[in-house]
Amino acid sequence: MDALNVPPAWRERLEQRGLAPLAGTGRGYFLWVAFLLAVIGWAVYAYSRQLDEGLIVTGLRDRISWGVYIASFVFFIGISHAGTLLSAILRVTKARWQLSVTRMAEFITVVALMVGALFPLIDMGRPDRLLNMVTYGRWQSPLLWDIFAISTYLTGSTIYLYLPLVPDFALARDRLGPTAARWRRTLFTVAALGWTGTPDQRKALERAISVMMVVIIPVAISVHTVVSWIFAMTLRVAFDSTIFGAYFVAGAIFSGIAAIILLMAVLRKLCHLEEFITKTQFVNLGYLMGAFTLIMGYANLSEYITHGYKMEGAFPFHFEQLMTGAFAAPFWFYIVGGLVIPGLIILNPRTRTISGIVTAAVLVLITMWLERYLIVVAGLRVPLLAYEPSSYTPSWVELSILAGAFALFALLITLFAKLFPVISIWEVADHRGPEPEPGAPAEAEHPRRGALAEGSVA
């Protein structure tokens, strides 16, 4: 509640940098948007082919009937956990270092959920009958659980994105209002909800934020758990695992951290936020990501050693195709390139630089998509009866739609960055203050920070 005393010049810089993207738009921005729209347009064309001819235009067939779409669904829902981790889990622990990137993480959450939720619709054979899920919905089906969990999470995340935005909208209204276009002025005024920063308002806001942060954590965990259950509830050897829910949640947070590292690296450059997003944020998130390489490695070991030791039923086939067979290359790329190398990059102080950590994050993102793909496709490839194992190659339609999904993700982030400050200005100013100089003891500069952690929320 009590704001830190920060140097006015620093605060001015923060407000200016935070609001700059809202104030003006360069030509590069429009070119970028045009490029993204072109990719999305191509994906829409690809989808129209699919609507017209049916799912026959994909590489999917009866025996491997889920592929790129469902793998990407799991991937995008996974990276949506970035926001929850940063703004809820870390906030509960009263960490402060992450405040300058919480806004971006919440962007990722909302946008990734929007994009991810499209994939099951794209994957449907009869999208025209979507409403059957409402009129005939059966709560016994894991797909219904997904719908409930994801829509709850999307609603909660949107509220959680919006709440800390209120004071920043007020700031935009006060500072940009007089010069901004009319629609922007209206947006800022309406969205600021009459915020003036009175103690009562601050108290109400912080209360709301602290309620949401507690509510959103179990919701986030439930989301990825039930996403795993669309697999684990089937009688497939490769999916038959009690660890699936926890493993998916861990993978979700892992890829979510990688997504936020990449996004903050990009936006830090583009929005000139180097002063507010420093190596501290990268290194701390890097440490978290490093810890999750170990958790993921442990989960994989636990999964494969218990089945691999016994080699029961059809499992030897699955084990063989992952370790040495058809999926060995992506599997080992995931283990080495997605877990071992990022772990080592973070472990070694010489590579633990911003560029090193971003490299690790990119590797994690690529391999986590592959890992989702392996779960779906390799799992379904295990033959159920005496037939030759099928093969699956994504078609141009599926790859185009995948590219379109990434473009849509980028486009939504790009648009959001023009509508909302990408940095939570008031939180950074009031609760974090200037980033400590490299090498300076963190607490020395702001003796009040310790006291704050004892008292107020957020």
Per rule CB under 8 A, is residue 133 in the interface with other proteins? yes
Per rule CB under 8 A, is residue 12 in the interface with other proteins? no
Binding mask 390-429 for other proteins (x = CB under 8 A): x---------------------------------------
Instruction: State which residue, 60 or 88, has the beta carbon closest to other proteins.
Output: 60
Per rule CB under 8 A, is residue 231 in the interface with other proteins? yes
- Nearest residue to 97 via CA among 432, 453, 444: 432
Binding to other proteins in span 27-66, by CB under 8 A: 53-57, 60-63, 65-66
Which of these segments, 22-30, 103-111, 232-240, 316-324, binds other proteins (CB under 8 A)?
A: 232-240
- Give Cβ neighbours of residue 157 (< 8 Å, ≥ 6 apart): 80, 83, 84, 106, 109, 110, 113, 216
Per rule CB under 8 A, is residue 386 in the interface with other proteins? yes
Per rule CB under 8 A, is residue 132 in the interface with other proteins? yes
Instruction: Please measure the distance between the N-terminal and C-terminal CA atoms of the chain and give it in whole angstroms.
Output: 8
Instruction: State which residue, 281 or 321, has the beta carbon closest to other proteins.
Output: 321
Instruction: State which residue, 218 or 383, has the beta carbon closest to other proteins.
Output: 383
CB of 237 to other proteins, least distance (A): 9
Per rule CB under 8 A, is residue 452 in the interface with other proteins? no
Binding to other proteins in span 292-351, by CB under 8 A: none
CB of 155 to other proteins, least distance (A): 20
- # of chain residues touching other proteins (CB under 8 A): 43
86: exposed, middle or buried (C-beta count within 10 Å: 0-12, 13-18, 19+)? buried
- Give Cβ neighbours of residue 172 (< 8 Å, ≥ 6 apart): 19, 22, 180, 188, 192, 421
Binding mask 236-275 for other proteins (x = CB under 8 A): x---------------------------------------
Per rule CB under 8 A, is residue 385 in the interface with other proteins? yes
For other proteins, which residue of 142, 325, 337, 436 counts as binding (CB under 8 A)?
142
Instruction: State which residue, 142 or 297, has the beta carbon closest to other proteins.
Output: 142
Instruction: State which residue, 60 or 166, has the beta carbon closest to other proteins.
Output: 60
The span from the CA of 329 to the CA of 141, in Å, is: 34
Binding to other proteins in span 60-119, by CB under 8 A: 60-63, 65-66
CB of 405 to other proteins, least distance (A): 18
Interacting residues toward other proteins by CB under 8 A: 53-57, 60-63, 65-66, 120, 123-127, 129-130, 132-133, 135-138, 140-144, 230-231, 233-236, 380, 383-387, 390
